[in-house]
Amino acid sequence: MIDSILLGIGSLVALIVLIGIRMPIAYAMILVGGIGIAVVNGPGLLLNQLKTLAYGQFSTYDLSVVPMFILMGALASHAGLSSALFRGANAWLGWLRGGTAMAAIAGCAGFGAVCGSSLATASTMGKVALPELRRYNYSGALATGSLAAGGVLGILIPPSVVLIIYAIIVEANIVTMFAAALLPGIMAVILFIITIALYVTLRPDAAPRSGHVDREEFIAATAGLIPVMLIFGIVLGGIYAGLYNPTPAAAIGVALVWLYGTLRGEIGFAILIQSLKETAGTTGMIYLILLGAELMKIYMSRIGLPQATAEWIIASGLEPMTVMIILLIALIFLGCLMDSLSMILLVIPFFWPVLVDLNGGLYATADTAGFGMSTEDLKIWFGILALIVVELGLITPPVGMNVFVISALAKDTPMIETFKGVAPFFGAELVRVVVLLAFPAITLWLPGVLAG
């Protein structure tokens, strides 16, 4: 048993090393997981797994929602939604000191609600908002920092591809997870706007006032928000109302975004083909990571590492909440090494069984549970907390993918300035984690209302 555990730990170290030398995460997991299975159980079992595993993984109905939401996001990037969102938000908030940066945050939240991807949100909104922030002489740190931080909203505000993958891993209801993410997502927007207000209060020179827009422009910019709100309302409102499940909702969203972009003259045949190619490439990458994660899961289960980890933590006598905090801190550090989707796929199969055991087992109720809630509620609460700390990896060094995306757009702003700019937002995210840890009802209220 000890030899198996040492083998598992060595394999995880090898995986981190491969990721560190820039091997794609999917290939690294397939290599380590495949070799591990072959070493422990022989090459015959590995070949048998490879014969059916990919089809078994990718043919499930739940996964069909992933390419649909990715296509929706790809079309939204070309349809002019981002400019309409930013223009409308800036009409309402731009008169405040720091208002244009606040509008960028609001625009990121709105675009994330249609797109579901943090990197796409950061890139698209960066192209739209960065020229305006420069025009009003915002400091490089605040301009790039607010856009990099705003991009992380795409990973939590539904629909979110990473949230869907988490729901599939822990066998949670996707609609329930979308509902649970809504209030924490709104909380993030509010905290980010408060962060900008505090920043410009302490450093007024970082964000001059941009002034009011005239009446005609205000009305036009506000009217431009209506199609975006309708798309969001039809897609997510229909899901929450029980009219359709996420897969047909995503298909409806694709059709609405395509229609919006076509009527605006932004999406033609060439853009449609480009969006389909982008969707195919991104979906293929995600599915390959899923295959690698499943091989790792099979390998680790066969050597007993997740079970041994759970037994060790339970035997340590630590309080369940202490273990939860330790796991969340570990996720923050891991976010410095790998992207959010890879981290969810690799780490959740280890962490989730530990939390289930600490909570009293798979069928724990609120009366008997270690966290004071049922296992189903624990799935929801932990999932939202995990995604929030995963967000932090997008704005922390050395990976900080959102920072790299924004730095590529703002070549005149040193990357160190962007990291300085995201630091206050990092603090705001930690505040949100603490609040949600202390008050799980914030996360669980809306799913409870929909279930009732």
Cα gap 238→177, rounded to integer Å: 15
Cβ neighbour number for residue 51 with a 10 Å cutoff: 10
| Distance (Å, whole) CA 340 – CA 331 | 10
> Kindly report the CA angle at 435 between 144 and 98, in degrees rounded to 5?
30
Helix segments in 224-315, DSSP class H:
225-240, 246-263, 269-303, 305-315
Given this model, what pLDDT does residue 364 score? 66
Q: How far is CA 411 from the centre of its chain?
A: 26
pTM of the model: 0.88
Q: Which residues of 63-78 are buried (b: 16+ CB within 10 A; e: fewer)?
A: bebbbbbbbbbbbbbb
End-to-end CA distance of the chain: 46
DSSP code per residue over 370-433: TTSS-HHHHHHHHHHHHHHHHHHTTSSTTT-HHHHHHHHH-TTS-HHHHHHHHHHHHHHHHHHH
Position 363 scores a pLDDT of 65
Q: Which of 444, 79, 380, 61 is nearest to 246 (CA)?
A: 61
| Distance from C-alpha of 420 to C-alpha of 411, rounded to nearest angstrom | 16
Kindly list the domain boundaries of the chain, sorted by start residue. Answer: 62-281
What's residue 24's pLDDT?
84
pLDDT of residue 345: 81
Average pLDDT by consecutive 10-residue portion of the chain (452 residues)? 73 83 85 88 81 81 85 86 88 87 91 80 87 88 92 84 88 90 93 95 83 80 89 87 87 93 92 92 87 86 78 81 90 77 81 84 69 90 92 78 85 87 93 95 91 70
199 and 206 in contact (C-beta within 8 Å)? yes
Structure tokens at 67: 């390419």
